Amino acid sequence: MKLCEMIKKMPACKVAGSQTQEIAGLFYDSRQVTEGGAFFALPGIKSDGHLFVEDAIARGAVAIFAEKPLTLPEGLTLVQVENARQAMALAAHAFYGDPTADIPVVGVTGTNGKTTVTYLVEAILQAAGKKPAVFGTVNYRYGNAEHPSSHTTPESVDFLRTLAHFRSQGADALVLEVSSHALDQYRVEGTHFNVGIFTNLTPEHLDYHGDMEGYYASKAAFFRRLLPSCGGCAIINVDDPYGKRLAAERPEALTCGSTEQAAVQVKEAHLSVDGITARISTAQGEIELRSSLVGQFNLQNILCAFAAGLALKLDAHLVAEGIARAAMVPGRLERIENERGALILVDYAHTGDALDKVLATLQDLKPRRLVTVFGCGGDRDRSKRPVMGEVAARFSDLVVLTSDNPRTEDPQVILAEIRPGIERHYQQEISLADGRHGRRGFVVLENRRQAIGYAVSTLGEGDILLVAGKGHEDYQVIGTEKHHFDDREELRQALASEE
């Protein structure tokens, strides 16, 4: 593609050099540049892409997109832009043939529930005869093809290149998790959203956003700017306080929740260990819903997905059929079969609010004993550590405090910052033997494999064990290295060794 065609819709850019350069590929990592490529010098938190322009040129870049004025060798073209990330997204849409332009596109944002909602919307679209591609925390997938997820929402070039490939294989719809980082960093700029879903907002990523107002502003930008620009419909969960606030800003939104003001409203619901049955009110009348998902928070996720189906002009009964068919979501209250008569679950809950909702749901199931294994990630928001400790101790008969992804932090420092929350309910750590014999309290086992094995050893009939924090992840990050580690595998091994 010629450079002039790629920048046709790009706002406020100055071009120094030939605009007829043939562009063979788009790159934001200078190490990946190949002959004839365009390199985007992205400003970053840890490093500045402008420092790698010479390396990109040495590897064959013929065009450089930058926010700063640069002097380039003769024959190369500089495209100076106000926002390099925005420019990269718009260039990628042009380069890859605008792959979101002519298909239904559903974006899902919020702190919790994004992944579950994407699985539900995927099932709804499949029930309607569509073949959706899905991008999110678990993976990027279409049909039998799955790519590991590097980010909840990939960089725009990676996203659009992969989507264009999925389109060439037959994908005719898109469901996309949209993170606050992605919104801040313009990764979905230019995407033609038909529907945007807001699930909820609770404290998370405050190390990046600063405070809840900054976090809310990032999410709200999706509904204030991106969605209106392509005429998309907003779906907002008004059971969430921030959802109510957002709905007040967007009165045209299709709201959902348990309140009488919600357009898609729960009339009656029954929640059990076997799933959810509910009767909801919609513009198409009252509809009966069934799902194998568990808990009040998943009822909210189901309502968001149901409303999205209606916004896509699908028949309400077909939408209900899709929800009933939806597959289990990996690492979201995922059950581990066992012969002990215990309910063993793995969940991705890694914020205070998410853990609160999961444990409240499990407590409602009236277990003989509720055991929780969890930790907190390193190099991330430290303020949530005591919060998660307090939540775990408030609901659990036994808390097994362990390491999560410590990254470059000392695991013992992370554990020490969680303890004050636990100690609001359990003042002193108990012995491992006391925990096995039914005493209430908490123990600390930094090694996650040992912690999971110990928790399994405490279980009896009627107990519930929740291993929280990592969910679908099959690795543990220690220092800067990823090591294979899957909570589900560890649980099965621990159960087998105890037989």
Contacts of 481 (CB under 8 A, 6+ apart): none
Note every long-range contact of 125-128, with CB atoms under 8 Å and residues 24 or more positions apart, other chains counting: 125/173, 125/175, 125/312, 125/322, 126/322, 126/325, 127/318, 127/319, 127/321, 127/322, 127/325, 128/309, 128/312, 128/314, 128/318, 128/322
- Helices vs. strands in the chain: H and E counts, helices first: 18, 24
Q: What is the pLDDT, as a whole number, of residue 499?
A: 66
Q: Which residues pair with 279 in a beta bridge?
A: 268, 288
The tens place of each residue's pLDDT in the chain, 499 residues long, gives 999 999 998 988 999 999 999 999 999 999 999 999 999 999 987 789 999 999 999 999 999 999 999 999 999 999 999 999 999 999 999 999 999 999 999 999 999 999 999 999 999 999 999 999 999 999 999 999 999 998 899 999 999 999 999 999 999 999 999 999 999 999 999 999 999 999 999 887 767 777 989 999 999 999 999 999 999 999 999 999 999 999 999 999 999 999 999 999 999 999 988 899 999 999 999 999 999 999 999 999 999 999 999 999 999 999 999 999 998 899 999 999 999 999 999 999 999 999 999 999 999 989 999 999 999 999 998 999 999 999 999 999 999 999 999 999 999 999 999 999 999 999 999 999 999 999 999 999 999 999 999 999 999 999 999 999 999 999 999 999 999 999 999 999 999 997 6
In which residue are the tokens 């606030």 written? Answer: 245
In which residue are the tokens 């994908």 written? Answer: 171
SS3 of 423, please? coil
Pick from 396, 393, 377, 382: which is nearest to 464 by CA? 396
Do 429 and 444 touch, CB atoms closer than 8 A?
Answer: yes
Contacts of 192 (CB under 8 A, 6+ apart): 98, 100, 101, 105, 230
Contacts of 316 (CB under 8 A, 6+ apart): 282, 284, 285, 287, 306, 309, 310
Domains defined for the chain, CATH in brackets: 3-95 (3.40.1390.10), 105-325 (3.40.1190.10), 334-498 (3.90.190.20)
Return the CA Rg of the chain. Answer: 24
Q: Which residues pair with 22 in a beta bridge?
A: 2
- Rounded to a whole number of angstroms, the distance between the first and last alpha carbons of the chain is 62
Do 482 and 362 touch, CB atoms closer than 8 A?
Answer: no
